[in-house]
Structure 1
Amino acid sequence: MDALIIAAGFGSRLRDISDSKPMTPIAGIPLLELGVRQAKAAGVKRVVVVTGHEADRLEAALPALAERAGIPVEAQRVADWSKPNGWSVMAGASVIDGDYLLMMSDHIFSAPILRDLAKAGGADRGVTLAIDRRCDNPLVDPDDATWVKMDEAGFIRAIGKTIPEYDAVDCGAFLATPELALAIQAAIDAGQAGSLSEGMQRLADAGRAATLDIGSAWWLDVDDPHMHALAEAQAPAQLPEIYG
């Protein structure tokens, strides 16, 4: 299985501490490298990184990163990184056959999350999203979170940052099938902007968006200086397979 890591955005809220969000160090290891190493630990054999903002610089760093992590890492550049993140998903998915782990470069996870997600596929779904039912999790920024409303079977009814009712938060890790990129393209064809959430909602409307409950597992969206400080303090203990 491949992994697809989205690393194309500007990362404005971390600019005060780093001029490259994917290369921002967490206790000495760049965020992107943490994602690559975590994907490898989950059984992934190749990582595709979607680049955009400062693509030349990021792509130049990938060979050394791949050597340190011990896994092939390839770049796929999105044509316009200022567009919503679904365009990056489509760009990366275009060079992947079959199912893949989809990750954001600024999210880090305890090992069981990606390991279990990689095994969560099934004929009844086009995508499986890792979700956290702890809506009051102190490690979640409620102003930035993507929320999820599920049905009784754990399939997604609604997803987005502003949905009125929700019972879980999107952890930023997916087991995607080729259906996801097709759903994003269908949303664009219907006049939407092309966000990942729009594609997810189309799959949800078709009954094809499943979830994986992470229970009490640790994860963090490193999106601003406060979350960066939390990551620096907690990641070494939470990720012993990486930090040793």
Structure 2
Amino acid sequence: MDALIIAAGFGSRLAELSPSKPMTPVAGVPLIEIGVRQAMQAGVTRVVVVTGHQADLLEGFLADLSMRAGIEIVPVRLTNWSTPNGHSVMAGATRCDGNYLLMMADHMFDADILERLIHEHRPDCAVTLAVDRRIDNPLVDPEDATWVKMDDDGMITAIGKTIAPYDAVDCGAFLATPDLARAIHEAIAEGKPGSLSDGMQRLADAGRAGTMDIDDAWWMDVDDPRAHALAEELAPWHLARTFADIGVPAGE
């Protein structure tokens, strides 16, 4: 299976730490490398990375990482990287073969989350989203989180940053089919800006957006200096397997 990692945006809230959000190091390892290696551990055999801001820097690093990690990494450069993130999904999905694991470059996960998600495909779902029902999770920034409302069967009924009420938070990892990119394109045709959530809501309205509860597994969105400081402290503990592959000691 392929993984598609979105890494095109500016990342303004981390700009004081790094000129490139996906290149921002956690425990000395760039976020994009952590993401690629976590995808590999989940069973991914090829990674597509959508680049944009600081594309030359990032693509040069990805070429080296591909050789070091022993996996094909395909960069797809987005010319207008200021567009909503759904445009990155549409660009990257053209290079993915069938269903794919969709990830955000600034998210980190317990290995179990991605491993489980790859096997969560249901014929009636065009996309399955990893969700955290711990809506009071102290690692979640409520001002930036994408919230999810579900029915009794775990199907998404609403998704977005401003919805209320809600049942869970979007963890930033998806098992996607080609229908997700088509749904984003259709949402744009209807006048939507083209965010990933626009496409997700369209699929939710059709009853085709499912969820996977991560239970008590660990994850983080490294989106600002506060989250980065927490990631520096927590990631070596929770991502011991990932860091071991790179030669970084586990947390002590």
TM-score (norm 1): 0.99
Letter paired with 1:95: R
Q: CA deviation at 1:241?
A: 0.9
| Counterpart in the other structure of 1:236 | 236
1:33–1:69 CA contact under 8 A, matched in 2: no
3-state SS of the aligned residue for 1:172? strand
| Alignment of structure 1 residues 138-177 onto 2, 5 Å | 138-177=138-177
Counterparts of 1:219 and 1:211, CA distance in 2 = 16
| Alignment of structure 1 residues 175-194 onto 2, 5 Å | 175-194=175-194
Counterparts of 2:78 and 2:94, CA distance in 1 = 11
Letter paired with 2:213: D
* 1:26 paired to 2:26: yes
| Counterpart in the other structure of 2:220 | 220
Q: Which moved more, 1:47-56 or 1:129-138?
A: 47-56
| Alignment of structure 1 residues 113-124 onto 2, 5 Å | 113-124=113-124
Structure 1 residue runs of 4+, over 6 Å off? none
Q: CA deviation at 1:70?
A: 2.2
3-state SS of the aligned residue for 1:47? strand
Letter paired with 1:232: E
Q: Which moved more, 1:53-62 or 1:8-17?
A: 53-62
Q: CA deviation at 1:79?
A: 2.8
CA RMSD of aligned residues (A): 0.7
| Counterpart in the other structure of 1:127 | 127
Counterparts of 1:183 and 1:165, CA distance in 2 = 24
| Counterpart in the other structure of 2:3 | 3
Instruction: State the Cα deviation string for residues 160-195 of structure 1 (Å, max 9, x = none).
Output: 000021010000000000010000000000011000
Counterparts of 1:13 and 1:128, CA distance in 2 = 28
Instruction: State the Cα deviation string for residues 11-49 of structure 1 (Å, max 9, x = none).
Output: 000011111110111001100000000000000000000
Counterparts of 2:232 and 2:71, CA distance in 1 = 24
Counterparts of 1:76 and 1:243, CA distance in 2 = 26
Q: CA deviation at 1:80?
A: 1.1
3-state SS of the aligned residue for 1:163? coil
Q: CA deviation at 1:203?
A: 0.2
Letter paired with 1:174: F
Letter paired with 1:175: L
Counterparts of 2:13 and 2:179, CA distance in 1 = 32
Counterparts of 1:122 and 1:150, CA distance in 2 = 16
| Counterpart in the other structure of 2:249 | none
Instruction: State the Cα deviation string for residues 110-159 of structure 1 (Å, max 9, x = none).
Output: 00000000000020100000000000000000000000000000000000
Q: CA deviation at 1:95?
A: 1.1
Unaligned stretches of 5+ residues in structure 1: none
Q: CA deviation at 1:67?
A: 2.0
| Counterpart in the other structure of 1:196 | 196
Counterparts of 1:209 and 1:145, CA distance in 2 = 18
| Counterpart in the other structure of 1:15 | 15
Instruction: State the Cα deviation string for residues 45-104 of structure 1 (Å, max 9, x = none).
Output: 000000011111211111111122221111011231010000000000011120000000
* 1:205 paired to 2:202: no
| Counterpart in the other structure of 1:85 | 85
Q: Which moved more, 1:61-70 or 1:118-127?
A: 61-70
Counterparts of 1:68 and 1:190, CA distance in 2 = 44
| Counterpart in the other structure of 1:35 | 35
